[in-house]
Structure 1
Amino acid sequence: MAAKPGQCTERPKSVPGRTAVLPWRLAPGIALFAAVALSMIFAGSMLGLAISRPWLGLGLSPFAPVAKLQDEGALWLTAVEGPAARAGIPPEPARILSIAPLGPGAAGGAVLLTGADIMEEPDVLPSHAGMAAYFARQNQLAGLMAEPVELHIAALEEAGSDTPPPTAVYRITPERRRPLTSLPAAFWMQIGVGLSGFWIGVWIWTLRRGDWAARFLAVAGTGLMASAFPAAVYSTRELALPDPLFWALSSLNATGSLTFGVGMIGLFLIYPRRLVRNQFLFVPALVLGLWRLADMLEWIDGPALGRHLAILTAMGAIIVLVGLQFRATKGDPRDRAALTWLGLAVIIGAGAFVTTVILPVALGVSAVVSQGQAFLFFLLIYGGMALGVARYRLFQLDEWAFRILFYVTGVLLLLVLDAILIVTVIDERAPAFALSLLVVALLWLPLRDMLGRLVLRRREPQRGALFRQVMDVALTPPGHDQRAIWAALLEGLFQPLTLSPLENATQSSITDEGAGLVVGGVGGLPAYRLDFADQGRKLFAPADVALADELRAMLTNALESRAAYEKGVAEERLRIARDIHDNIGVQLMGALHSLEPRRKDQLIRETLTDLRDIVNNASNPELSFDEMLADLRAQISEHVFAAGMRMEWVVEGGDSVILPLANAHTLRSVVREAVQNALKHADAGLVRIVIRQGDDAIFARVEDDGKGFDISADYRGNGLENMRARIIALGGDLSMISGAGGTRIEARFPFGAERRRR
C-alpha cells in the first residue's frame, strides 16, 4: 500500500531463524505524561532561577511615567514594595540616578543607572563586543544587588520650575530571594506559551511517533519552549543578572528560536504533501545549525546578521513552503483545507512575532510590542493546531486524541494542586491529596466536557427534527421523489461536497481514511457515497457512521410502519367493500323495489346508519385528532404525488383530542376539496397544507403556486360553495384569495361541544 505523505513506512527487519524484535515504546498516554513532567521540571528550574536572585523591591521602567518628560535613556521608578518600601522610598514616580555599595569594605563607587540596564533583549545591540560589555555591566550590577546598597533617586520636575529636582539617598537591604508575587505577568505568559507549544507538539508526536511531520512539530514545540523559558527569566529581571547566567539564557533563547524554525520548515517540507526526499529533510537543520554556531563563535558581524537575519530567513522559507504546498494540494479539498488552516496559523502567529519584534530591531528601530507580550502570538499557531486536529483531523488524529490530552492534563492538575496544598496550606500528604482529588473531580471533569464540546464543535442533531425528516421520507410513495428526499436529508445533515448513489452497499462505513462516508441502502432506497464533510472543511469520523446507522434504523422502522399502515388500509377497504356488497346493496335494492313509502323510508334510514358504521368502523368509531390527520395526509399525499406535484404538510400545536364526527368530516372535506381543485385546475407544482389546533378552534389553510382563477366568475362552478356551507353550518368562516401567484383557501371553525381529551 502506498505511503501517505510524511508518513514513515519503515518496519523492523527480520533475521532468518529469529523472531523480529519490535523496539520498546511507551504507551501514548504515558509518553505524553513523561514529556509533560519533564517540561514542568524545566519550567520549575526557570522559576527557581527567577526567584533565586536578590530582590530590592523596585518597579523599574525605561519609559517616563509622565509624557512631557523627554529625558531619553533615564531609568524610572514606577512602584516600590518589600525592601524598598521598608527603606522609606515613597511610591511616587521618580528617576533613579545611581546605585552604590554600602559598608566600609565595599569596593568601587556609585554606578550610574540608565534605561538600557533593563532592556528586554540584549541582542538588539549592534555588535558582539557591545553584548559582551552589556553582560559585564549586568554582572557588576548583580554583584551590587547581593549586598546592602545606596540608591540615589531624584523626584520629578515640577511644571514651570527652573530649579533642579531634589535628590534623596536611600539605603536598601535586599532580600535574598525574589518572591513569587513580584514576578510580572510577562513572566507567566512566556512560561505558559512555552508549555503550550511544547505540550501540543509532543502530544501529536506521541500519537504518531513514526510520522516525520509529527516529529518536526515536536521539534518546533521544543524550540519554542527553549526560546520562551529563558526569555521569561532575563526579560522580567528586576535590574540585573550575573554574566554567565545571562549569556547562557540569551544563547539558549537564540538556539530555541532557530530550532523552532527548523521544525516548521521541516514540517512544511512534507506536510500535507511530501516535497523532498528524506535525505534533504536535514538541510534546514544543517544550515541554521551552522549559522547558529558561527554566531556563537562570533564569526558573523553582530547579532543583526547572526540572529535576526537567520530568523527572518527561516520565516521567509516557511512562507515559500506554504505557497508550494498550496500549489501541490490543488484538486485535493482535504489536504487543501488542512494546509489552509495550519499554514495560516503558522504564518499569522510566527509572522506577527517576527514583524513586531525581530524585523523592527533588524531595521534599527524599537520593537512594536514587548517581547513577553509578543510571545502570545505563538498561541495562535498551537491553538489553531489543536482546533485543526478537531476540525480537519490534522495528522490523521481524531477525537480520541483529545481524550488522551484531557486525561494527562487531569493527572497533571491533580499532582500540581497536591504539591501546592502541601507547600502552602496542608502539611500532611493524605488530606492534601484527597482535597486535590475532590477539586479536580468537581472542577476539571465538568470543564473537560465543556472544552470537548467547544473545541471539537460537536453538533448533535435535534432528534425531533430528525425523526420528522425521516418520516417525510417514509411517507413519500416509492420512486424518484422518495429517493430525492432521502438524498436531501443526507446532504443537509452531513453537508458533503458530493453525493452519489452506490450499488450493493448494505452497511455504513468510512472510506479513504475519512474522506468519504458510505451510507448503506435501506427499504428499497439506494446506498449513497458522501465525499468531504462540512463542504470540505472536515473529514468523516466514527460518530458520523453511528449517526448514519441511526438514520437507517429510524427509516427502516418508519417504512415498516408505513407498510403495516397500508396493509391495514387495504384490509379496511376490503372490509368496506364486502360490507357494502353484503349489506348496503341488498338494503338499497330492497328500498328500490318497495312499494310502501314508510317501508322505503325505513330501509333508507337503516342503510344510512349502516353506511355510517361501515365508514367509521363501528368497532372503533372515534379517532383522535392526530390519527385523523395521519389518515388524511396519507390519502392526500397519494393523489398529490401521483399528479407529479410536491406537498408540504404542517401541523402546529395542540393536545391529543377527539373531534365530533361532523367537525372531523368537515375538516376532511374542506382539505380534500381544496386539494382536488388545485390538482384539477391550478396547474401548480406545490400544494401547502397548514392545520393548526388552537385553544377553541381549528384553522386550516390550503394554498398552491398555480395559475389562480377568477373567484367572481368561477365561484359557483367548482364546489367551493359546498365548502362554505359546511363551514358556516359549524359557526365558522371561509376565505379565498386567488391570483397569478396561486390560490389560498383559509377556513376556521370551533371544536364543538363534544370535544374531549384523549
Structure 2
Amino acid sequence: MAYQSVFNGTRIAPLPLMGAGAALALLLILSALVFIERQPWLGLGVDYDNESGFPIVSVVYEPQHAAGSVRQDSRLTAIISDRGDRISLEGFDPTLEPSGFAHFDVQKHYFERSTEITEVLAEGASLEVDGEHRVPVSLAKGRGLDSLPADFWLLNLFGLLVWAIGLSVFAARPGERAARMLCLSSAGFYVSCLFNSIYVCRELAMSGETLASLSAGNRAALLVMLFAILALMARFPGCITRRPPELYLTVAFCLVLVNEWQQLVDLPVHSFFLPVYIMYAAGIAIAFVQWRKTRNYPVDRAALKWMLLAVFIIMGTGLVTYYIPITVRGSPLLPEWGLVAIASMLYVGFALGIIRYRLFQVDRWWLTIWIWFLGGLSIVLVDMALIAYLKVQPPVALMGAVIFVGWLYFPVRQWAWEGLTGGKGRRQHQLVRMVEEIAGAVPSGEVNDTWQSVLTRSFDPASIQPIENRVSEVRLGENGTRMDVPLLEHNGALRLFYAHGGKRLFSTDDREYAENLFQVSRRILRVHQAEMEAVQQERQRIVRDLHDDVGGQLLSLLRQAPDDYYGSLARNALQSLRESMKAIDNDAIQDASGCIDDWQAEAEERLFPLGVNLDWSKQLNTAPLQFSVRQAINLRRILFEAISNALQHASPRRISVYLKSDDNYLELTLVNDGVDQSTRHKGLLRGRGLNNMQTRASELGGMSEFSIDGEVANVRTVIPIIP
C-alpha cells in the first residue's frame, strides 16, 4: 500500500492512521461514559412538558432512589431542600440546548438555576410531584449503559462516521490543503457531537459550570467545523485569495469565539445563531467567486458543482429545520440528533464526490480502504452493543459480532461497492464475444469502427472522439476525466470522456480492462492480417499464372488472327482477362483521370468508323479522384453497354457523355438522339442491357436509371466515390 508523508517526514499508511484515529475517538467516547457516570442521577428519565411548563418523568430506571413513589408521566413541580427551601421547577427545561438561548443573560440565568438544583440534590432533598406530595430522593451510585438515551449513541455514531471520512481523506492526501481543511472540519464535527452527547444525558440538572464548559466546547468545535468548511470552499478547486484564506477566517473565528466565551456583545437576532447565518451567506459569496473562476474549466466546475450541492442543500436544510425555527419560535422542527444526521450527510456527499469526481485528488482506492476500516469498526461496535445491552459474555459477543458483520456487512459492502464505482463484473464470455466481433470486421476493413463500438458499449462514455496523437497503451488523463485508447489499425487513438454517461470518472480498473481488451484484440488482429497476407500472396500467384499462361496464349492468338473479326474477339478476351486479374486485387486503386481518358479514346475509336459524333465533357472535383478496380470495371462496362444499346436500338447522329463529381458522388450520363417512334413503343431499350447496368451500379452502392424524351434517350448512373 502506498505510504503518505504525514508529519515531519514520518510515514504511516492510511489504514493504520485511520485505525489510530478510530481508537482515539473510541477512547474519547469511553471517557465521556465515565464522565456521565459520575454526574448526579436519580434513576429517572426526564423530559419537558410544554403545555404545563414543568419537567415530567418519562422513564423510571431506579425506583428505589425515589422511594418507589415517582411514576412515569409524573410532573416535577419543585425541589424541597432538607432545610425546607422550595425551588420551583416551573419553566425549567432540562433538555434545552444551551446555545439555543438568544441572549447571553438568559443563558447565564439558566446555568445558575441548573447549579442551584444540582447543589440541592447533592445535599439531599425531596421532589414535589404534581404539586401535591413530596417524595424523598437520593442519588444513585452508578448508572448503567441502558439508561443512556438513544441521542447519546446517535450523536456519537454520526460523529464517528464523519470523523472517519475526514481522517481517511487526510490519510490519502496529507499534503493537500483542502483535505486538511476537510479533516479539521470533521474533527470539529466529532468533538461537537461528543460534548453534545454528554449534556443530553443529564437528568434533571447538571452543574452550571460543567454545563457551561460543555456548551462552550460544543460551540468552539462547531465553529471550527463551519469555518473549516468555509476555508475548504475558498481553497477548492482553486484558492480565491492572494493570501491564505485560513488567515482571514482564523481572525473571524477568534472574534466570534471570544465574544461568546466572554459574553462581550449581544448580537442582534440571536447571539449564537447569527454567526451561523453570516457564515452561510459568506459561503454563498465564496461559491459565486469559485463559480466564475471555473467557467473555463469543465472538470473543476463539475467537482465544484457536486461540492456546492452537498454544502448548500445540507446546510440549508439544517437552517430551515433547526436554526431558523429556534430563532423564530424557540423550538426546532427536528431534535438535535436529527440536525446532526442531516449535517453528517454533507460529509457523505464529499465521500461520494471522491468516488465520482475524485475530489481533493483522491483516487478510488480510498473507498476500498475506508470500507475495510468500516468493517473492522463494525465488529467493535457490535461487540460493545452485545456486551452492554444483551449482557453477553465478551468471548461470545466477539464471536457473534464477527458472524453478524460477516453475514450482513460484507455482502452489503460488496453491493454498495459495485453500485458506487459502476463495476458490473465484466464476464469472460463478454470479452470473448467482443474480440470475436473485432476479428469479424477484418475482411470489411471496419476494424477501427468496430473497436469504437466495443469501447462505447463497455464504458458508455459521455463522448468519444478520435485524436491523432500516437498512443502505444491505454492511459488515463486529467484525474480520470478521460481515457485514451489506441486504435487497432494505423496510428491515432480514441479519447473517451466520463464513464457511464458522465456519472463517474475512469479508474485504474477501467484502464486495465481496456488495456487487456486492446492487447487481446491486437493479437487476434495480427493473426487475421497474417491470414489475409497469405490470401493476397495466393491471389498474386494466380494473377502471375493467368498473365504468363492464358495472357500469353491470347496475345499469340491476337497476333495470328486471320481477320479483324477474330482479332476483335481475341482483343476483347485479352481485355476481359486483364480486368479479371485487376479485380482479384481488391485493394488496387487507379487514377480516375487516366481511366476516363482511356474510355474516351476507346469510345472515339468505336464510334468514328460509324459516323457518330462524340461529345465528351467532364467536370470533376479539384481533389484527385480515384477508382477501385471494381469501380473502374463496372463504370466502363456501364458506359459501353449504354453505347451498344444506343447503336443497336437507335440511329444516333450524336452521343454525348457527361461526367461530373463532388466530394461524395460521381455522376455518369450518356445522351443519344435518333430514337424512333416504334422503338419507344416496343420498349426494346429496357431489355437485359439496362438490367445489367442497374446491377453493376448497385454493386458499387449506387444507381442507374434510363429515360426517353422524344427522340432523345438518357442513361444516368450515380455511384459514391472513394474518400
TM-score by length of 2: 0.67
Counterpart CA distance in 1 for 2:351 and 2:538 is: 61
Matching residue of 1:533: 499
Report which stretch shifted further, 476-485 or 387-396.
Answer: 476-485
Q: Which amino acid in 1 is paired with 2:349?
A: G
Query: What displacement does 1:217 show?
Result: 0.8
The answer to whether the 8 A contact 2:78-2:129 is kept is yes
Q: Is 1:44 aligned to 2:30, yes or no?
A: yes
Q: Is 1:96 aligned to 2:82, yes or no?
A: no
Matching residue of 2:101: 125
1:179-205 Cα deviation digits (max 9, x unpaired): 211222222221122222222112111
Matching residue of 2:259: 294
Taking a change above 3 Å as real, the CA distance of residues 439 and 190 of structure 1, as seen in their structure-2 partners, is closer
Taking a change above 3 Å as real, the CA distance of residues 542 and 322 of structure 1, as seen in their structure-2 partners, is same
Matching residue of 1:723: none
The answer to whether the 8 A contact 1:517-1:540 is kept is yes
Query: What displacement does 1:369 show?
Result: 1.7
Q: Which amino acid in 1 is paired with 2:471?
A: A
> After superposition, where does 1:14-413 map in structure 2 within 5 Å?
23-63=9-49, 70-71=51-52, 73-83=53-63, 87-89=67-69, 91=71, 93-101=73-81, 106-146=82-122, 149-154=125-130, 167-301=132-266, 305-363=270-328, 365-413=330-378
Matching residue of 1:615: none
| Structure number, greater radius of gyration | 2
1:560-608 Cα deviation digits (max 9, x unpaired): 565577689899999999xxxxxxxxxxxxxxxxxxxxxxxxxxxxxxx
Report which stretch shifted further, 387-396 or 117-126.
Answer: 117-126
Structure 2 residues without counterparts, runs of 5 or longer: 544-629, 635-691, 704-723
The answer to whether the 8 A contact 1:123-1:303 is kept is no
Counterpart CA distance in 2 for 1:521 and 1:562 is: 16
Structure 1 residues without counterparts, runs of 5 or longer: 1-10, 13-20, 65-69, 155-165, 578-638, 644-676, 687-705, 707-758
Query: What displacement does 1:77 show?
Result: 3.2
The answer to whether the 8 A contact 1:98-1:111 is kept is yes
Counterpart CA distance in 1 for 2:137 and 2:211 is: 24
Matching residue of 1:500: 466
The answer to whether the 8 A contact 1:56-1:84 is kept is no
Q: Which amino acid in 2 is paired with 1:511?
A: G
1:79-119 Cα deviation digits (max 9, x unpaired): 33322797444755343322324xxxx23523222353224
Matching residue of 2:620: none
1:329-388 Cα deviation digits (max 9, x unpaired): 223232122112221111122222223222233345422222222111112111111111
Query: What displacement does 1:267 show?
Result: 0.4
Query: What displacement does 1:684 show?
Result: 13
Counterpart CA distance in 2 for 1:168 and 1:539 is: 70
Q: Which amino acid in 2 is paired with 1:529?
A: R
The answer to whether the 8 A contact 2:55-2:76 is kept is yes
The answer to whether the 8 A contact 1:337-1:537 is kept is no
Counterpart CA distance in 2 for 1:461 and 1:414 is: 31
The answer to whether the 8 A contact 2:421-2:504 is kept is no
Counterpart CA distance in 2 for 1:113 and 1:685 is: 99
Q: Which amino acid in 1 is paired with 2:26?
A: M
Matching residue of 2:572: none
**What secondary structure, in the 3-state scheme, does the structure 2 residue paired with 1:499 have?**
strand
Query: What displacement does 1:314 show?
Result: 1.2
Give aligned-pair identity as a percent.
26
Q: Which amino acid in 2 is paired with 1:500?
A: P
The answer to whether the 8 A contact 1:98-1:113 is kept is yes
Matching residue of 1:522: 488
> After superposition, where does 1:421-436 map in structure 2 within 5 Å?
none
The answer to whether the 8 A contact 2:447-2:488 is kept is no
1:93-151 Cα deviation digits (max 9, x unpaired): 343322324xxxx2352322235322421233343222222111111222344465433
Taking a change above 3 Å as real, the CA distance of residues 500 and 116 of structure 1, as seen in their structure-2 partners, is farther
> After superposition, where does 1:442-591 map in structure 2 within 5 Å?
445-446=410-411, 448-477=413-442, 481-494=446-459, 495-524=461-490, 526-560=492-526, 562-563=528-529
Q: Which amino acid in 1 is paired with 2:224?
A: T
Query: What displacement does 1:525 show?
Result: 7.5
Q: Which amino acid in 2 is paired with 1:122?
A: P
Q: Which amino acid in 1 is paired with 2:325?
A: P
Counterpart CA distance in 2 for 1:93 and 1:167 is: 15
Counterpart CA distance in 1 for 2:345 and 2:385 is: 30
The answer to whether the 8 A contact 1:334-1:536 is kept is no
Counterpart CA distance in 1 for 2:386 and 2:9 is: 40
Q: Which amino acid in 1 is paired with 2:58?
A: T
**What secondary structure, in the 3-state scheme, does the structure 2 residue paired with 1:118 have?**
coil
Report which stretch shifted further, 212-221 or 529-538.
Answer: 529-538
Taking a change above 3 Å as real, the CA distance of residues 135 and 279 of structure 1, as seen in their structure-2 partners, is same
Matching residue of 1:736: none
Q: Which amino acid in 1 is paired with 2:226?
A: G
Counterpart CA distance in 2 for 1:232 and 1:428 is: 26
Query: What displacement does 1:40 show?
Result: 1.8
Query: What displacement does 1:304 show?
Result: 5.2
Counterpart CA distance in 1 for 2:272 and 2:66 is: 43
Taking a change above 3 Å as real, the CA distance of residues 116 and 341 of structure 1, as seen in their structure-2 partners, is farther
Query: What displacement does 1:221 show?
Result: 0.8
Q: Which amino acid in 1 is paired with 2:296?
A: G
1:392-440 Cα deviation digits (max 9, x unpaired): 11111122212332344444455666777888868788x8877766766
Taking a change above 3 Å as real, the CA distance of residues 513 and 123 of structure 1, as seen in their structure-2 partners, is closer
CA RMSD of aligned residues (A): 4.3
Counterpart CA distance in 2 for 1:60 and 1:439 is: 34
Counterpart CA distance in 1 for 2:347 and 2:534 is: 62
Counterpart CA distance in 1 for 2:315 and 2:102 is: 24
**What secondary structure, in the 3-state scheme, does the structure 2 residue paired with 1:79 have?**
strand
Query: What displacement does 1:510 show?
Result: 1.5
Taking a change above 3 Å as real, the CA distance of residues 146 and 569 of structure 1, as seen in their structure-2 partners, is farther
Taking a change above 3 Å as real, the CA distance of residues 369 and 479 of structure 1, as seen in their structure-2 partners, is same
